[in-house]
Structure 1
Amino acid sequence: MFERKFHAWIDRYFYTPSFSQKLLAQILAPLSILYALVVTVKKRFSKEVDYKIPIISVGNLTLGGSGKTPLTKAIFLKFSPKFKTFIILRGYKRNSRGMHIVALDGKILVDIKTSGDEAMEYALGLQNANVIVSEDRVIAIKEAKKLGAKLILLDDGFSKFNIKKFNILLVPKPKPALNLTLPSGAYRYPLSFYKFGDFIPKQSDIKKTSTIKNPTKRMVLTTAIAKPNRLKEHFSSCVGKEFFPDHYEFKKDELEEILKRYNATSLLVTAKDYVKIKDFNLPLSLINLELELSSEFEKKISSFIK
């Protein structure tokens, strides 16, 4: 319960701060300036290495979700039929260390505790998926090349300034309340770093279609993603909403309690939630999000790959 309240407080602090939270942000502003300076120096003295393979990073400048996973999926679906494509990510909050091949040619090789939720979402949701988790992206890139990769997608790879890549930077919606870096604002990098983006998609560059698989009459939206208000189009279809911290590890009994409390017929979850609870044998409805890239977006990527 404390963890949920703390994450809710953090979300308000960064996006809809109260007067006291704004005051706290101002007090912490000197630390934000220092943080921005350190990040800028790191970028300035990093030297890009060309690994002789097209590498595309899908990233953003802020904390939390901005749609990196669904966009990475869309790029994989578009280009993997022509190029053997690997998705590489850190595997945040996984119960493992080092490099692990999560999926190879669609065959899942590890469990979700080893992979983490986002990597397993890719592995289960993409046909012929190739997914690697590793804190060291360079090691993973070299392994992917050994396995025949022709294209690499880095999920949240903008910070890897030592890797030559095509940087796609997503702009968050809504934007943070303050245009400051941590700890006063939600930005991991100064706003000026948008100039390092090779492509910053406009709203017209990404067409989103969100549907519900297996809808029921009394659904409770139950999710552990960053910025759950991104799902607001589905709020009216539900009898209740239960938000958990990003990457939260659900327990079966707490989900059963939610179903009972709302007299619900199913839990409405995202793909990221589904991979963690699919074996609980509970009634589930699934939000299915599909993205279509504009022709300009596709041309930018195609030009880089060639």
Structure 2
Amino acid sequence: MRAFLEEMFFVPKWYHYPFILLLLPLSILYGIIMSLRRMIISPKEFGIPIISVGNLIVGGSGKTPFVIALASRLEGVVIISRGYGRKSKGLVEVSSEGRILVDVTQSGDEPMLMAQSLPHASVIVSEERALAIALAKEKGAKCIILDDGFNRVEIDKYDIILEPSVVKNYLPFPAGAFREFWFNQKYADIVAKEGEAFHRHVAFENLQPSMVLVTAISNPHRLDAYLPEGVVHKVYLEDHAYFEEEKLKMLLSEHKAQSLLVTEKDAVKMQDFKLPISEMKLKLQIQETIFTQVDEYIKGYRE
């Protein structure tokens, strides 16, 4: 069912359209409600520059590597994320200026990846973004990056939307992948289109002649275009799912593979596993004009 829905959301085939038509009234209603939120709710000013990196679709679009690339250029930055898939609740400090304070079960996979990738930044997870913003200010943050914050309409912020190149269904949930009507991107300060404003580059570590791909990301079929030779089997888990070491050992044995091929997001949940790992590392090449616009926003805010 998950594979069917992901295909329907991103690259629908002819057999998806009866379901899309059935769900269309709900999608229109959902889109109207989300648009009304933007008209009714007044955003609150928090007295600190806040940059949101988000998207309009459910699932991945490169937000995490984009946040890492942006945060690596900023001083005194605190990243705030909801922490999808974590086993904790409430506000949790994941890192403080690069010092890791919790394990991945408390942070979630994406916040942990950001924390480990940014030795000069701090990372906080919280369902209540306002509480995390207050803590960041208390700790002396100079600016804040909201991970996946476009739909947080109650916060006054500078919005960057990432627009992936793979989506062909532009309907709102539940008939499509969009969290709002696609034309609500007009509310963003920057719409960064994949293939124009940013490009993906995938590097590999420890490639082996025979590997099993194991991943717990949204829309995992998007990895297919980047897979190297030697992948003998693929295993897709739910987005943000955790792995069991013994089951992974059995997979290696069953398919006579020499290593597990995983993404960086998956790898942070396997750090204590005594297993051979091959890793896919996604980096983004981002137009310099985007960084310039963010710098101008921060400078103008402080003035």
TM-score when normalising by structure 2: 0.94
Query: Runs (4+) of structure 1 moved beyond 6 Å?
Result: none
AA in 1 matched with 2:262: V
| Number of aligned positions between the proteins | 297
Q: 1:187 aligned to 178, 188, 213, which one?
A: 178
- 1:5-84 matched pairs, under 5 angstroms: 6-79=1-74, 83-84=75-76
How far is 1:251 from its partner?
A: 0.9
Instruction: Find the counterpart in structure 1 of residue 235 from structure 2.
Output: 242
Deviation by residue 1:238-259 (Cα, 9 ceiling, x = unmatched): 2222222211111112211221
Q: RMSD of aligned C-alpha atoms? A: 1.5
Structure 2 gaps, min length 5:
none
Instruction: Find the counterpart in structure 1 of residue 220 from structure 2.
Output: 228
Aligned equivalents of 1:142 and 1:176: distance in 2? 39
Instruction: Find the counterpart in structure 1 of residue 207 from structure 2.
Output: 215
How far is 1:295 from its partner?
A: 1.9
**1:200 partner SS:** strand
AA in 2 matched with 1:14: F
Q: 1:200 aligned to 171, 191, 211, which one?
A: 191
Sequence identity (%): 39
Instruction: Find the counterpart in structure 1 of residue 277 from structure 2.
Output: 284
Aligned equivalents of 1:74 and 1:305: distance in 2? 16
Instruction: Identify if the C-alpha distance between structure 1 residues 24 and 257 changes in structure 2 by more than 3 Å, giving closer, same or farther.
Output: same
How far is 1:235 from its partner?
A: 4.4
How far is 1:134 from its partner?
A: 0.3
Aligned equivalents of 2:85 and 2:281: distance in 1? 23
Q: 1:161 aligned to 134, 153, 158, which one?
A: 153
Aligned equivalents of 1:128 and 1:268: distance in 2? 29
**1:302 partner SS:** helix
Structure 1 gaps, min length 5:
1-5
How far is 1:234 from its partner?
A: 1.6
Instruction: Identify if the C-alpha distance between structure 1 residues 208 and 29 changes in structure 2 by more than 3 Å, giving closer, same or farther.
Output: closer
Aligned equivalents of 2:16 and 2:54: distance in 1? 27
Q: Does 1:100 align with 2:95?
A: no
- 1:251-290 matched pairs, under 5 angstroms: 251-290=244-283
TM-score when normalising by structure 1: 0.93
